[in-house]
Amino acid sequence: MDDFNEADFIIQQREPFNAEPLPSRLIERYLTPQALLYVRSHGVIPHLADDHAIRFGGNGLRDADLTLAQFKAHFAERRIVATMQCAGNRRADLQSAGKTNGDPWEVGAIGNVEWTGVSLAEVLSELGIGDRREGYIACTAADADKVEGETHPYEISISLQRAMTGDVLIAWAIGGEPLSPAHGAPMRLVVPGYAGVRSVKWVTRIELRDEPSAAPIQARDYKLFPPDEDGRDVDWSKGMVIEAMPVNSAICVPRNGEIVGAGPLAVTGYALAYGRRVARVDLSIDGGQQWAQAQFIDQETVPDAWQRWRCDIDVAPGQNEIVVRAVDDAGQSQPERAEDVWNFAGYLSTAWHRITVDVR
Ligand SMILES: Nc1nc2c(c(=O)[nH]1)N[C@H]1C(S)=C(S)[C@@H](COP(=O)(O)O)O[C@H]1N2
Ligand SMILES: [Mo]
């Protein structure tokens, strides 16, 4: 992988390649550079040519093959800041409540990215979408997803309504740098506020359809089931398609299990509430009896971006548990216990984030 320093990463899988940055590196900056952005790939990373074209069409949409050069030449360039987060971020915490499918992501399957691209809505308008808003936009990629030994092209759909909100991008850069192969070069979809799975990398085709995609990644994976569903003989149609993401927060420094000195300790991390603002972030060192309010590090409050926070606490020698939870501006917060949100696929791990530090 290009521009990638393995020492900064926790490798979850080598083939397909999946890795998250060390939390201490992740939280250094408000904007996550491409070199510190987690990589979540379901199959082998494709290497597409720079003049690769995305094929548009379907259901009366005008057929067109558009390359990166054509997007740049014919549409307004947009830059937006949006946090992308895998629905499996913090899965390791759910796994402490019970076994789940998937890799044990810690807190790093997330990044606050400045994306450059064009608005999908503008492109669809140019191709004759008019005032139609019913239906789905299916987005097919060049890679394949392996499900129970069978491979299927990676294909996601979002509602046409969502596709037309203006902030969904066909993006080609992160922090002004062209996308690397691992992050979707030459072009990927970005759906702000939605689980990362909808932000399709290596896009080859964008099609207007009457029905959502039947590809397993859309129709079975990334669906939320209640804790009493054990994952055997699942009726996939009953799962909730994970799109918008719930309020969440995590401690990045210190890292779970770290040895720290007794006395004052600066704790830092992130919180996000997507469409809403994070109203406050609280920390507790007595399991949630008393709470200290954290301070926000970043003044910006972009709706789909994270906010970093810092809280100075005091720790005494021994094993200390530190707990964080965020509250959004509608007073919505995170569940206390991982058990209550456990699900067999290990998605949306939002319980209070707990770490243990060994204070000496
Ligand atoms: N074509 C394709 N797009 C994809 C994926 C993939 O495996 N193939 N993974 C998805 C998932 S689950 C996530 S969380 C994000 C991760 O994007 P990143 O690897 O650039 O961080 O890409 C999404 N888009
Ligand atoms: Mo993901």
Q: pLDDT confidence of 191, banded at 50, 70, 90?
A: very high
Q: What confidence tens digit (pLDDT) does each residue in 102-131 have?
A: 999 999 999 999 999 999 999 999 999 999
Ligand 1 atom at minimum distance from 87 CA: 14
Two structure tokens written together for 11: 């490798």
Ligand nearest to the CA of 218: 1
Between the CA of 197 and the centroid of ligand 2 the distance, in Å, is: 5
Residues with CB under 6 A from ligand 1: 37-42, 86, 141, 143, 154, 183-184, 196-197, 199-202
The C-alpha atoms of residue 176 and residue 117 are separated, in whole angstroms, by 10
Instruction: Kindly tell me if the per-residue pLDDT of 2 is higher than 80.
Output: no
Q: What is the mean pLDDT of residues 179-204?
A: 98
Q: What is the pLDDT of residue 148?
A: 76
Q: What is the pLDDT of residue 4?
A: 79
Q: What is the pLDDT of residue 196?
A: 98
CA distances from 302 to 22, 26, 112 (A): 24, 19, 11
Q: What is the pLDDT of residue 116?
A: 98
Q: Could you give the angle at the alpha carbon of 160 between the alpha carbons of 190 and 345, nearest 5°?
A: 60
Q: What confidence tens digit (pLDDT) does each residue in 65-87 have?
A: 999 999 999 999 999 999 999 99
Length of the chain (residues):
360
Percent of the chain at pLDDT > 90 equals: 94
Between the CA of 107 and the centroid of ligand 2 the distance, in Å, is: 13
Residue of 333 and 275 predicted with greater confidence? 333
The C-alpha atoms of residue 156 and residue 200 are separated, in whole angstroms, by 7
The answer to whether the beta carbons of residues 252 and 357 sit under 8 Å apart is no
Q: pLDDT confidence of 300, banded at 50, 70, 90?
A: confident
Domains of the chain, earliest start first: 6-241 (3.90.420.10), 248-359 (2.60.40.650)
Q: What confidence tens digit (pLDDT) does each residue in 146-173 have?
A: 877 888 999 999 999 999 999 999 999 9
Judged by DSSP in three states, 262 sits in coil
Q: Residue with the nearest Cα to atom 10 of ligand 1?
A: 197
Residue of 2 and 80 predicted with greater confidence? 80
Between the CA of 328 and the centroid of ligand 2 the distance, in Å, is: 23
The C-alpha atoms of residue 178 and residue 167 are separated, in whole angstroms, by 19
Closest by CA to 136, choosing from 285, 23, 243, 251, is: 243
The C-alpha atoms of residue 66 and residue 89 are separated, in whole angstroms, by 33
Q: Average per-residue pLDDT in the chain?
A: 96
